[in-house]
Structure 1
């Protein structure tokens, strides 16, 4: 079945048809590298938050803003950057986003106070806009036969970047190493991406139109009102006045955004596009996979470091051993998975690829929940979980590509990126809340230590499996079969 959106895809403007004469083989690697950067920046501070708190003598509540600031900034700028790229051309917006990311990395790497660090992390939130911009570049610059494959390769860098970030943090901060090292890494990566993008990306005009800046402000406010209590609720208290107030405020603002878009001639986001069956199913799947990703990464990272002598579970792994032995195999596997997933998307359709990835994710989470006493079994399950995440995200841009017109590519992928961010925020909050709520105090020579119960980890892994299962149901029944 072909929709009006599909027809729009089949006949993009001649000015934006990539041709062999203008196609640069470096465009795809450059865009995949940019996606890797944003994923690296998103994840790299997560395992380092306790260390940052210790070295800056800051409470866990305050240091949590190091992660929250980036997420809130990202929710505000991602849809705006996507639309700016569609209207004015992706190259200049990508370079602007990289300059902001570079500035944020520099501030974070040099600052010695929590306030400066939070400010730097907020600027790093500009990197989240790189994903929809990269997908837009691929759509407009690659030959038609290579677009779906290229999108899959770039999107799979999300999983690789997150896994690499966990490994890098473990290596750079082992034995209480200076937390500034992780920001030196993001600084170097941001500088490299800026130079690469400036050299590789062609100077092309955008598709034209206007930018709904008022809509961007309202949407950003609504997303901040939603994500702030999700990320801070476990510290504020889920029943506290700020948490409840923001949860009530968020849907009101987002509803107002919907009314505003319906009455705007050139809206930031076309609600009719978001309501399209395949687009809606893909975005919901992105949310569920985002939730599952943090169930895998946070749950597994904390589990393997649990002192087995005290708790009766875990592997008493150091931060370095956690990174190299448990996280690195899955990260390395993510590298070839992008091209492989891309080929399957072209041959069999993105729907089946997403379905297969989600089913693999369910199996991996079931294994983590039931078979976590043996190191080898645990590593295999983690590798499978990493593969499921990388392949699932590789399929999503191709699904959107089939049902979104060229001028809406950036914004459509921005919404998908936001859904991933929301899912990850919810997953992180749920896992942390479950683990904290079950904490039991153990006596050690250095004093009492509060550690989660084994059942709390099982619950976290089961919830990750449920999230993957919901993504599988969306792929099986929410998407039509004629996707390739």
Structure 2
């Protein structure tokens, strides 16, 4: 008999893979997960070029981003649940194949509907992170698991900046926008090969439960309606019957879905994973962190690209200059923070690391709001904010891994990823509304005050995320103390 940690002997197999093999697996999954935000954000600077080259309205071109988020919202928890039930390797590889197909479609087409279809398939890449967490939980001991999740989460957080940097380097004025999709095809293909070679095979099937088709359908309609209202509300008008009607439809159907999940015997998302006391605070924090990340990302990029001669602020930065001089230092700092987060989480607990990171985030946004007349001030503030984002993203899955059984790892992290997506969507709508509403006198150009308000909103979101974790942890301990006092065996999720 070979016990855990014992060396292999002739005729036997070691109980666990070698440390070297685990390190290769972690590195491989970090690369695979990194392709998700790169695929998402690399197209953002290309929207004007897409509208011009495809001869479509800029609002129609915006569906290239919206469709990606809709697919992410629907597919991430579904694929996470499938990974929990069927094993993560086949779901991971299948997802990568579909994402690769989507990137290929974006290269070969000259028609918006096919481009949107490609972006829908690319949106499935959002599920790679929760599936990757499920893979790691099945292979690593607790300490190495925290380190690996921290690194993978941090890479996920800084990948958005890497996507913008890639777009700035590859795309030049007048060039075909498809050049960036060629890069994405290469990344997706490498990720597929790397995953196939490194992700170990698991059990053929973990569950015989059927797919909750009704739950999938209700969730798809509810989440899509809410995201569409957020994406199109600025163009339709936030108080228009169209926006209110679509948002109300999304809320009503989402409530219907939640009630359905409580009644069905094999739910897509067990309600305890959505609103249980050990996970609800983490999901709320994820929503707020998604807001903070996108506020700094969208606000800072548009601020530095503004023409000082026209509006009195900004640095007339090109996409390339923005990518290399403004975003790259923050991305490097984010990777460093991600590498250090795992050991900190192991030593000080995930909730404390997240709260401390949120304090750093508040300071970073305050720096950005108060001092932005020089480019170096903006760069320093973004470095601080990226440390906050990477450390926070690293702590979130560690909290969830500690809170849920292994068979729910994928779907729970999928829900958390969707919470971040909704936060990002709300932040995008908030920034767009602020920049349109608070304009320079006599023009339709955003004023400096609009950006300052946005940056303070980012500070508020970071602070609120920290408070959400403090409150959730206090409530959990209070319930645990009561459980001990009354002789309870365990505390429900």
Structure 1 and Structure 2 fold alike (TM over 0.5)? yes
Q: Aligned ranges for residues 247-396 of structure 1 at < 5 Å?
A: 247-396=247-396
| Counterpart Cα distance in 1 of 2:307 and 2:353 | 38
Q: How many correspondences in the alignment?
A: 460
Aligned 8 A contact 1:18 1:141 in 2? no
| Counterpart Cα distance in 1 of 2:143 and 2:229 | 44
1:216-268 CA distance string (max 9 Å, x none): 22112111011111111111221222211111111211111111111111211
| Counterpart Cα distance in 1 of 2:40 and 2:100 | 14
| Counterpart Cα distance in 1 of 2:174 and 2:234 | 26
User: Structure 2 vs 1, CA of residues 431 and 106 (structure 1 numbering), >3 Å: closer, same or farther?
Assistant: same
Higher mean alpha-carbon deviation, 196-205 vs 107-116, is at 107-116
Q: Which residue does 2:153 correspond to in 1?
A: 155
Alignment RMSD (CA, Å): 1.8
1:395 Cα deviation after fit = 0.5
1:476 Cα deviation after fit = 2.4
1:209 Cα deviation after fit = 3.9
| Counterpart Cα distance in 2 of 1:213 and 1:168 | 39
Aligned 8 A contact 2:335 2:390 in 1? no
| Counterpart Cα distance in 2 of 1:209 and 1:392 | 36
| Counterpart Cα distance in 1 of 2:136 and 2:297 | 29
Query: Which structure 1 residue ranges, 5 or more long, are not aligned?
Result: 1-16, 443-448
1:450 Cα deviation after fit = 4.2
Provide the secondary structure at the position in 2 that maps to 1:402.
helix
1:462 aligns with 2:456: yes
User: Structure 2 vs 1, CA of residues 145 and 472 (structure 1 numbering), >3 Å: closer, same or farther?
Assistant: closer
1:440 Cα deviation after fit = 4.3
Q: Aligned ranges for residues 187-226 of structure 1 at < 5 Å?
A: 187-205=185-203, 206-210=205-209, 211-226=211-226
Aligned 8 A contact 2:234 2:432 in 1? yes
Aligned 8 A contact 1:18 1:143 in 2? no
Aligned 8 A contact 1:230 1:425 in 2? yes
Larger-Rg structure: 2
| Counterpart Cα distance in 1 of 2:174 and 2:453 | 30
Q: Which residue does 1:78 correspond to in 2?
A: 76
TM-score scaled by length of structure 1: 0.91
1:386-424 CA distance string (max 9 Å, x none): 111111101000000111001111110010000010000
Q: Which residue does 1:24 correspond to in 2?
A: 22
| Counterpart Cα distance in 2 of 1:67 and 1:370 | 31
Q: Which residue does 1:476 correspond to in 2?
A: 470
Q: Aligned ranges for residues 30-45 of structure 1 at < 5 Å?
A: 30-45=28-43
1:451-480 CA distance string (max 9 Å, x none): 211111111111111111101111222225
| Counterpart Cα distance in 2 of 1:20 and 1:91 | 16
Q: Aligned ranges for residues 1-12 of structure 1 at < 5 Å?
A: none
1:81 Cα deviation after fit = 0.2
| Counterpart Cα distance in 2 of 1:239 and 1:477 | 33
Query: Which structure 2 residue ranges, 5 or more long, are not aligned?
Result: 1-13, 478-493
